[in-house]
Chains A and B, each alone.
Chain A
Amino acid sequence: MHSSFSIKVTAAVLMSASTNKQSKTLSNLTRQRRPKTAYSLFLYLSLLATLPVISRADSQLLIQIEHPWLRAVPDAMDMTAAYMILKNTGSTPAELVGGSTSIADSVAPMITTKEGQGLKQMLGMKAVDSLNIPARGTLVLEPNGNHLMVMGLKEHPKEGARVDFTIKIEPGHQEIHLQIPVSKTPVK
Chain B
Amino acid sequence: MNLTSRETSTSQTAAGKSSSSNWWLLTAAIPILAAIAISIPIAFKQEAQKGFFGTRMFPLKSAYDFKLNGSNSEEVRLDQLHGKVALFIFGFTHCANVCPTSLTNLAAVYQALTPKEQKQVQFIFISVDPKRDTPKMLEQYVTSFDPRFMGLTGRKPVIDEVVQAYGASYEMVRGTTDLPNDYSVNHSAYAYLVNPSGMWELLYDNEKLADVQQMVSDIRKVLRESSLH
Contact = CB atoms under 8 A, between A and B. Distances in A.
Are A and B associated in one complex?
Answer: yes
Interface of A: 71, 73-81, 110, 112-113, 115-116, 118-125, 127, 143-145, 147, 149-151, 184-185
B158 interface: no
B98 interface: yes
B33 to A, nearest CB: 30
Interface in B62-112: 93-98, 100-101, 104, 108
A120 B97 contact: no
B11 interface: no
Contact of A77 (B94, B168, B170): B94
A115 B98 contact: no
Interface string B129-144: 0000000011011001
A111 to B, nearest CB: 10
B188 A120 contact: yes
Contact of A120 (B95, B108, B169): B169
Nearest to A124: B186
Most buried by B among A77, A112, A120, A123: A123
A122 B170 CA distance: 7
Contact of B184 (A115, A116, A124, A143): A124
Contacts of A74: 140-141, 144-145
B206 interface: yes
B161 to A, nearest CB: 16
A120 B170 CA distance: 9
Interface string B186-227: 111110000000000001001100000000000000000000
Contacts of B137: 76
A4 to B, nearest CB: 44
A77 B141 contact: yes
Contact of A124 (B100, B173, B190): B173
A63 to B, nearest CB: 23
Nearest to A121: B188
Contacts, number: 91
A80 B104 CA distance: 13
A149 B100 CA distance: 13
A112 B104 contact: no
B147 to A, nearest CB: 12
Contact of A123 (B108, B167, B187, B203): B187
Interface in B141-198: 141, 144-145, 166-171, 173, 176, 184-190
25 contacts: A71-B100, A73-B100, A74-B145, A75-B140, A76-B93, A76-B137, A76-B138, A76-B144, A77-B94, A78-B94, A79-B94, A79-B96, A81-B96, A81-B100, A116-B169, A119-B190, A122-B171, A123-B186, A124-B185, A125-B95, A143-B101, A144-B97, A147-B96, A147-B97, A150-B96
Contacts of B171: 122
Given A112-B98, A124-B173, 13 more contacts: A71-B96, A74-B145, A75-B144, A76-B137, A116-B169, A120-B188, A122-B188, A124-B186, A124-B187, A125-B96, A144-B101, A147-B96, A151-B96
CB-based closest 7 A-B pairs? A124-B186, A74-B144, A119-B167, A143-B101, A122-B186, A76-B140, A123-B189
Nearest to A108: B176
A81 B176 contact: no
Contact of B98 (A79, A119, A144): A144
B104 A185 contact: yes
Given A112-B98, A125-B98, A127-B176, A76 B186 contact: no
A151 B179 CA distance: 15
B135 to A, nearest CB: 12
Contacts of B166: 119
A147 B188 CA distance: 19
